[in-house]
Amino acid sequence: MRSQCTVADSISFLGVGVHSGKQSEIVVKRADENTGIVFIRTDIDKNNLILASYKNVSDTMLCTTLTNEHGVSVAVVEHLLAAFRITGITNAIVEISGEEVPIMDGAAKEFVDAIKNVGVVKQKEVVKTIFIKDEIVVELGKGRIVVTPNDVAEIDITFDSPMIEKVEGVGKHFVIKNIDECITMENLYSAKTFGLYSDYEKLLAYGKCKGTSCQNTIAIGEDGDILIEDGNGGIKKTALLDKNTFVLHKILDLIGDLCTAGIDIVGKFTCVNTSHALNNKLVCKIMEKL
């Protein structure tokens, strides 16, 4: 069992929401023991506190959205939550000026680096922890997660989607032996979000991806090419810098979504084609068994 921790000093981030396209600022502040992760919408005068709890997950389309009992929401929380878990943060107040956590680099690296820069303060209380004793299985569409007893929190993920099958040399399987040691894995928290370039216009019609750019999202062409802006208003092909980027981002999302349990879950997570919806289904099932 690990110690509860908070940030040593306040940290500010300013950026655009990947779906809303609106600029927002977040300020991560110290919090007392047993506070958990609490979002505060500073653009709303009252009923503006949202606990990062699985009970508050209200939408899982392309991201994880939290909504409190008064209908106040904050979206795209998963990368920030993953950064907290990777750096050991369990208690923090996150003031946010809008409806969406800024996408920043499309991963968690900017969050992790900033937390490492200011430092982490250990607190007296320990993190509540459950050890999986019996196999737990959840399925959704082509996705499946099986959790079995293990000495540490281990993640074994396979991501085998038609979306990436044409990408040359792409990695589809990866194992994280212990979540507690992820602080050393820069390739994990640098793994950007991704999507098909051909889906961009469709998602705009749904009111999504208004803040998407090649700086925060890996765009995959129809032939499996990786596409970036050429600086002249056009698009050019480039190489995938890390063959495991896609499956690593799936792990990053899972780590963030597991944080909504508010406790540590120790077991081996064997996963195929995870999604935010499937991750939330898993957390709900585990917590229902307590």
Residue 212: CB atoms within 10 A of its CB come to 21
Element (H, E) at 271: strand 268-272
Bridge partners, 23 (sequence order): 16
Cα–Cα dist 89/7, whole Å: 7
Assess contact for 274 and 143: CB atoms under 8 A: yes
Assess contact for 81 and 89: CB atoms under 8 A: no
Question: What's 100's DSSP letter?
Answer: B
Q: Which of 33, 70, 81 is nearest to 259 (CA)?
A: 81
Assess contact for 92 and 28: CB atoms under 8 A: yes
Cα–Cα dist 108/253, whole Å: 10
Assess contact for 89 and 5: CB atoms under 8 A: yes
Token pair 């979206």: residue: 75
CA 277 to chain CA mean position, Å? 12
Q: Which of 36, 46, 73 is nearest to 58 (CA)?
A: 73
Q: Which of 19, 79, 249, 276 is catalytic?
A: 276
Cα–Cα dist 157/222, whole Å: 24
Is 276 a known active-site residue?
A: yes
Which SS3 state, helix, strand or coil, does residue 70 take?
A: coil
Joined together, the tokens standing for residue 2 give 């690990």
Active-site residue list: 276
